[in-house]
Amino acid sequence: MPRRFSPFADLAAAAAAVGATRSKNAKRDLLAAYLRGLPAEELAAACAFFAGRPLVDPTAKLGMGWVQQAAALARASGADEEAIRAAYLRHSDFGDAAAELLAGAERRGGHLTVTEVAGTFDAIAAAGNGEDRIGLMADLFGRASPEDARFIGRVSSRETRIGLREGLLEEAVAEAFGRQLDAVRRAHMLTGEIGEAARLAREDRLAEAALHVMRPIRFMLATPVVDAAEVMRRVGDEAWIEDKYDGIRAQLHVDAGGIVRLFSRDLNDVTRSFPEITGAVAELPDLGPLVIDGELVPRREGTVLDFASLQTRLGRVRPSAELLAEVPVVLVAFDLLHHAGDDLIETPLRERRRRLEGLALPERSGERLLLAHLASARSADEVERHFDDARERRNEGLMIKDPDSAYQPGRRGLGWLKLKKALATLDCVVVGVEWGHGKRRDVLSDYTFAVRETDEHDARLLTIGKAYTGLTDAEIAEMTERFKGITLQDFGRYRTVVPEVVVEIAFDRIMRSARHRSGFAMRFPRIVRIRDDKTPADIDTMATVEALFGEQASGRILLATGSGGETERIAATGAAEDGERAG
Ligand code: AMP
């Protein structure tokens, strides 16, 4: 009879071995060997863990922030809050802190299996309240060896730190079961779950991989460009141009029975927050199962409202009738990923758009579902004109897409480019906060923020700037409480915090500077908004910073040029202010 449960210690040891070598090939071989020897039942959970996710279901959330994780570790180890912060700071890693603090603690119960750890994570995700979650996690730590705890802590705080990119995990799966890498990649892309791809690989059924309606796949991302000239340089003859709407990204799923689900960019189910959308979809004639990618945009009587108004809708599980009337939302569809049994992500955009238009959504939904405005341009001047028109329609800028491109889940490729209003903003994560001055002296109003070194999920955070917020007093007060809860080190004026709050930063230009660890600083940075729709995994990387810097240096920066177009006008105003303030 084949073994069904394997020791979690083996998994932790494999993870440690993978982390100990820098060689990609060695990492892949170690992982492949481990995965090959694993019982079938545990393959999906192990793959999720190596990918840095505690749960197999990519839409499920553990529901534990720093505060609860630390409380669980405190309970299991007997260490107090201060000792836990100190250990975290020593290692900058929750797993290492857990291993250190549990080293002396007495271990309860027998040895953990992969199934037990996975089962506990599932139970935590399903638990009704924070206290239960802390209790379950504390029990798990209580049964773990220090080495188990290191990996459990890393996975539960979502930082595996073993230098493992998903691409490498795909390679390991292909090697473990002797399959083609391309087939594994494709299965992962379609199913959205590396564990399922691994199971299909093991059973030699990769060809059966398909998109699951009602399970979100990761969103395709765009690469920023600085101006219309760069757009034309990148696309050649003709650019396919859509308006860039300023709302929140959403994936709409409709199954064969007409059940509707909406998922946000971080794959959360946000269906109940947008009843006007689900209501409109329910009224459509039967179009068959659908997966649509689009943007939720606040729009009343044909006019797009400010993004700020949409913020009042975020996080509201059951919006009131007044709020629904005040800030109604539409879904602007720009992509069709599945229709009536056909997976379309490998189909060229041109064809996906044709099929999307064929659904006649605006007409059939009373304009609750719209289509992204589409145009084409053959010169930089034309791009500029479209940009101005998009701004006239109160949209943020333009998206430039390759009509022959496939939909690439989770990738920031060159298939999609984005051109925004001023000089591109950067999404950063707050790593430190400081008490303000004057009437702000009782609130944490100055934020220090960082970008990621690379796109890898264990990349280091490198500081790039500091700014005080443009938030309202009420919001600053609320954020102050939040930052107090996630403070790591309190130096009096300044505190370091757990990096989890994402902010979008606008600035006048980027400069080389030794002041911050990124080696860059921003001139006149300002916080545009808190991006609760993004996680630290979504923030910008050094590559983007370098690219923006390079564009400035090459003289193609919006600020420096002077002629025509909304982009230049906005930037020129910024430059004037810059001069004034600098002078
Ligand atoms: P950013 O959030 O600045 O990185 O810009 C990318 C985002 O623009 C996407 O994630 C979408 O939420 C949004 N967006 C707005 N309009 C479009 C469009 N027509 N096509 C694709 N993304 C769009």
- Please give the C-alpha separations between residue 533 and each of 1, 268, 338, in angstroms, as whole numbers: 47, 10, 24
Task: Kindly report the backbone phi and psi dihedral angles of residue 248, in degrees, each rounded to the nearest multiple of 5, phi listed first.
Answer: -125, 140
Q: Which of 399, 528, 540 to probe ligand 1 with, by most ligand atoms within 8 A of CB?
A: 399
How far apart are the C-alpha atoms of 482 and 475, rounded to whole Å?
10
CA of 171 to the centre of ligand 1 (A): 30
Tell me which residue has its CA closest to atom 17 in ligand 1.
Answer: 244
| Catalytic hit among 27, 244, 401, 534 | 244
Query: Does residue 342 register a pLDDT over 50?
Result: yes
Residue 312 pLDDT class (50, 70, 90 cuts) = confident
Pocket of ligand 1, beta carbon within 6 A: 222, 242, 244-245, 249, 295, 334, 372, 399, 418
Contact 407, 345 (CB under 8 A): yes
Q: What is the total residue count of the chain? A: 583
- In which band, very low, low, confident or very high, does the pLDDT at 562 lie, cut at 50, 70 and 90? very low
**Rounded to the nearest 5°, which phi and psi values hold at 509?**
-165, 165
Q: For the segment 235-288, what is each residue's pLDDT rounded down to a tens digit?
A: 989 999 999 999 999 999 999 999 999 999 888 899 999 999 999 999 999 999
User: Rounded to the nearest whole angstrom, what is the distance from the C-alpha of residue 242 to the centroid of ligand 1?
Assistant: 10
Query: At residue 575, does pLDDT exceed 80?
Result: no
Of the chain, the percentage scoring pLDDT greater than 70 comes to 92
When pLDDT is averaged across residues 469-483 and rounded to a whole number, the result is: 87
Q: Output the pLDDT for position 451.
A: 96
Output the CA 249–ligand 1 centroid distance in Å. Answer: 7
Burial of 499 (0-12, 13-18, 19+ CB in 10 A): buried
| C-alpha span between 578 and 422 (Å, rounded) | 14
Residue 555 clears pLDDT 50, i.e. is over it = no
Cα–Cα nearest to 265, from 211, 314, 307, 306: 314
Going 19 to 25 to 26 to 32, the CA torsion angle's sign is positive
Place 571 in a pLDDT band, splitting at 50, 70 and 90. very low
DSSP state of 319: -
Mean pLDDT of the chain: 88
Is residue 566 predicted with pLDDT exceeding 90? no
Q: Tokens at residue 183, please? A: 């087939």
Q: Which one is predicted more confidently, 423 or 530? A: 530
Structural domains in the chain, CATH included, are 8-156 (1.10.3260.10), 221-421 (3.30.470.30), 424-568 (2.40.50.140)
The residue nearest atom 12 of ligand 1, judged by CA position, is 249
Query: For atom 8 of ligand 1, which residue has the closest CA?
Result: 244
Residue 174, classified by CB atoms within 10 Å of its CB into exposed (0-12), middle (13-18) or buried (19+), is buried
Distance 578 CA to ligand 1 centre (A): 29
Q: What is the pLDDT of residue 32?
A: 98
Residues 552, 567: Cα–Cα separation, whole Å: 14
Strand partners, 241: 375, 400
The one-character DSSP state at 203 is T
Cα gap 220→411, rounded to integer Å: 5
**Which residue CA neighbors atom 1 of ligand 1 most closely?**
222
Q: Does 217 score more than 50 pLDDT?
A: yes
Each residue's pLDDT tens digit, 173-207: 999 999 999 999 999 999 989 999 999 999 999 99
Q: Which atom of ligand 1 is nearest to the CA of 425?
A: 3
- Is position 421 annotated as part of the catalytic site? no
The alpha carbon of 432 and the centre of ligand 1 are apart by a number of angstroms equal to: 28
Q: Residue 335 in 3-state DSSP?
A: strand
Amino acid type, 397:
G
Residue of minimum CA distance from atom 6 in ligand 1: 222
